[in-house]
Structure 1
Amino acid sequence: MEYLHNLIDYGILGLLLFMSVVALALAMERWLVYRAVRVEQYADRKVLELHLSHKLHLIATIGANAPYIGLLGTVLGIMLTFYDIGAAGFDTTKIMTGLALALKATALGLLVAIPAVTLYNLLLRRCKVLLMQWDICHGRKGV
């Protein structure tokens, strides 16, 4: 049973940590791209839109799925706690410790999701501003 506890701790929490690093790296890369882009260099609005929206979906996917991965870790942790209760008997200290440790997966999932969704929304707003600047630069109304 100890290997299942380790799987939850290192597997689920490690995956969430990895997702957090990926979301942050992607957001930083997109921000640097947005700072360097010059809308007047693009003749076609769709080409600019493709360039700006590249990889944004990955940040949104991480933000949307991190809570579910955290919830999976919590459910598995609670299942293991109930299994331990059934195997070893009712020990309040062990039960409360097991439940508290199980909930850390949900907390970490939310800690990954909230910044990822926030970064996605900020980048999406910047993308829309750049597209509006292209429209102004090229004398067009929004498409």
Structure 2
Amino acid sequence: MIDTLKMYIEYSILGVLALMSFLTLWFALERYFYLSNISLNDFPKKGALENSLTNNLTIISTIASNAPYVGLFGTVCGIMITFYKMSASSNFETNVVMMGLALALKATAVGILVAIFATMVYNGLARKVEVLMTKWEDIYAN
């Protein structure tokens, strides 16, 4: 039963991280193409432009800040299951324990990778928004 629970937790955590990565890529592409094709002349008011430019950036930022926690949750669950298996086993085998711990740490590694990717995407898009806002201010400053 513990092995089944570990499998479900592992696949669930990795599935959530894969979904987070997919959403980051999806919104990044959407924002990239939108920001590349926007006409600044269509926005006479700064607030409307800023709202339009920053749409969906919060999702990417949220993924970037929470992906490590999702990975850490998977690691904690994996370590708890490994310790439970150790206590329930009559013979102690260090290779089984080390394998369980190594697999548990995989979730943290994947969570960190997703967070790095999302942070890089967010920073790149935020910079593009800043450049577009500056261009808009140059157009309407006169």
Give runs of aligned pairs for residues 30-49 of structure 1, distance below 5 A. Answer: 30-49=31-50
Q: Give the corresponding residue for 2:10.
A: 9
Q: Give the corresponding residue for 1:114.
A: 116
Distance between the aligned counterparts of 1:83 and 1:123, measured in 2?
45
Task: Provide structure 1 residue ranges, at least 5 long, that are not aligned to the other structure.
Answer: none
Q: Secondary structure at the match of 1:43?
A: coil
Q: Give the corresponding residue for 1:66.
A: 67
TM-superposed deviation, 1:10: 1.0
TM-superposed deviation, 1:3: 2.1
Q: Secondary structure at the match of 2:141?
A: coil
Q: Secondary structure at the match of 2:44?
A: coil
Letter in 1 for 2:40: V
1:23-71 Cα offsets, whole Å, 9 max, x none, are: 0110010000000101122111110000001110000000000000000
Q: Give the corresponding residue for 1:128.
A: 130
Distance between the aligned counterparts of 2:79 and 2:41, measured in 1?
56
Whether the aligned pair in 1 keeps the contact of 2:74 and 2:108 (CA below 8 Å) is yes
Distance between the aligned counterparts of 2:24 and 2:8, measured in 1?
23
Q: Give the corresponding residue for 2:20.
A: 19
Give the aligned CA root-mean-square deviation in angstroms. Answer: 0.9
Q: Percent identity?
A: 44
Whether the aligned pair in 1 keeps the contact of 2:10 and 2:78 (CA below 8 Å) is no
Distance between the aligned counterparts of 2:5 and 2:120, measured in 1?
33
Distance between the aligned counterparts of 2:48 and 2:27, measured in 1?
20
TM-superposed deviation, 1:6: 1.2
Task: Provide structure 2 residue ranges, at least 5 long, that are not aligned to the other structure.
Answer: none
1:1-36 Cα offsets, whole Å, 9 max, x none, are: 122111222100110001000001100100000001
1:71-113 Cα offsets, whole Å, 9 max, x none, are: 0000000000000000014211100100000000000000100
Q: Secondary structure at the match of 2:68?
A: helix
**Which of structure 1's runs of 4+ aligned residues deviate more than 2 A?**
none
Q: Give the corresponding residue for 1:97.
A: 99
TM-superposed deviation, 1:139: 1.6
Q: Give the corresponding residue for 1:53.
A: 54
